[in-house]
Structure 1
C-alpha cells in the first residue's frame, strides 16, 4: 500500500507561562516563589505513526492528550521540535473555524482565498464555485463580509471549500460540533463519500459514536504518547474503560 502520512519520532514542547506581566512576576518573587516562571509542556513525546492511503483513522484521547497538536503537524500548521512528518498528495481539512478566512473580505472573496491556500487554482475554484455555495447553504450572504458570519456560517463555508478541493488527505478536528444537526449529517455523509472514494481521513473528535461509524482505525493518545493503535471500536472500549 501507499503511505499517505508518515510520522517518525515527533516531539513537540510548549512553554507555559505562570505570569502575564512584570507586576505578577514581582508579586511571585515577593511571595518567595523562586525559579523559572515558566515550565515546558510535552505535547507530543516521540510519536511515530503511519497512515496508509485510503485509511480512516480517529485520533482519540481526553483533553490535553495531544490529538489536535498531532493533527496540526499533519496539516503543516505546526512543525515538530524534532522528528519528521511527511504527507503525500493534497492535504485539506478543518482544523479551526474560519482558518484561512480574512474577516474584512466577503464570503465570495474568501472562497477564492481559502481555496488558493488549500492548493486550488483560480480556474478550479471558478468551476466549483456554485457547487461550493450551494453546499454551504449561505447563498444570500455570500457577498457579506465574513466578520458578520456566525460560527455556524463560518463552518458551512469552510467545510464546503475544503471538500471541494478534492484532497487525497482530509483532516477534521472536532469542528463538526459547531454546525446544526442537519448540516452535521450532511457533512458526515460527505465524509463517508470521501472514504468510499479511497481518500485518507484523520478525525479528531470526542463523539465516539460518530467516529465509530466513520473510521476503521483508532489511535489512543495520552499526554503526548501513543497508548494504543488498532481497530477503532477496540480503542474506544479502552478509552471508555479509563
Structure 2
C-alpha cells in the first residue's frame, strides 16, 4: 500500500465576502447578525495525493486558489468540506515574516521561530552558525527585523526553515524575493532536499522551476483542478493556455 505524505480528498474552502457600507455603532447594533454577504468558493473539489519524497508544483493565475490550498494543507485554514491528511513533520514558508516578532533581532527570531517547531535551545545553538551563514545577513543579524527589507526577511525565514530538517516542506513563491545569486543558492538547497527524500509542495509563477524541480504538478483555475499529473505535461498545458489569453 502506497504511503502518502499529503492526501487531499474532496476539499472545498468557502469565504464570506461582506458588502455592507460603513455603518455607525448604533446601526451595527441594530443590524447585528444581519450583515449581507455572498459566498465565495476559493477551492472546489480538490483531490490530490503526494507520495513521500515526491515534489508537487502548483501553478495558476493570481486568485486561482494556489496559496489558499497551501494554507489549508498547513492548517492555517480549515476545510469547509472534505479532508486533508498530513503524515510527517511539516515545515511551512508561506508568508514573508510569518513567525517572526518585529521587535526581536534576527538572531532572537531564529530562536523564537525554531522553538515554534519544537527545537530546544541547545538544538538551535548547534545550528545557529549555519543558519546565520546561509542567510548572508552578516552584522544585520543583530538588528530588529522590523528594519529588514523584504529580501532580508526572506533570507532569514528560508534559512531557518531549511535548517530544521523538514519531512514535508511547503513553499509559497519564496524564490521570487531576493537577488539572483541567493535564489540560485535556494534552488540548490531545494534540489538537495529532493535527493534526501523530503516531500515538497510549492507555488511558483515560474513554470520552468516547477518543470525542473517537481515530479507532479497541479494547475488550478478558479479554485478547481484544471489539470493534474506529470509536471512537464501540466506546465505545457498551462503555458499553452496562458498564450491564448
TM-score (structure 1 length as normaliser): 0.91
Q: In the TM superposition, what is the alpha-carbon distance from 1:36 to its structure 2 partner?
A: 6.9
Q: In the TM superposition, what is the alpha-carbon distance from 1:123 to its structure 2 partner?
A: 2.1
Q: In the TM superposition, what is the alpha-carbon distance from 1:63 to its structure 2 partner?
A: 1.3
2:170 corresponds to: 171
1:48 corresponds to: 47
Residue segments in structure 1 that go unaligned for 5+ positions in a row? 27-34
SS of equivalent residue, structure 1 residue 99: coil
- Number of residue pairs matched by the alignment: 232
1:8 corresponds to: 9
Report matched runs for 1:129-148 at 5 Å: 129-148=128-147
2:148 corresponds to: 149
Q: In the TM superposition, what is the alpha-carbon distance from 1:20 to its structure 2 partner?
A: 5.4
Contact 1:118–1:162 at 8 Å: present in 2 too? no
Residue segments in structure 2 that go unaligned for 5+ positions in a row? 28-33
TM-score (structure 2 length as normaliser): 0.90
1:88 corresponds to: 87
Going from structure 1 to structure 2, the CA distance change for 1:144 and 1:8 (only over 3 Å counts) comes to: same
Q: In the TM superposition, what is the alpha-carbon distance from 1:122 to its structure 2 partner?
A: 2.1
Q: In the TM superposition, what is the alpha-carbon distance from 1:18 to its structure 2 partner?
A: 2.9
Going from structure 1 to structure 2, the CA distance change for 1:212 and 1:100 (only over 3 Å counts) comes to: same
Going from structure 1 to structure 2, the CA distance change for 1:20 and 1:85 (only over 3 Å counts) comes to: farther
Distance 1:121 1:157 in 2: 19
1:240 corresponds to: 239
Q: In the TM superposition, what is the alpha-carbon distance from 1:99 to its structure 2 partner?
A: 0.5
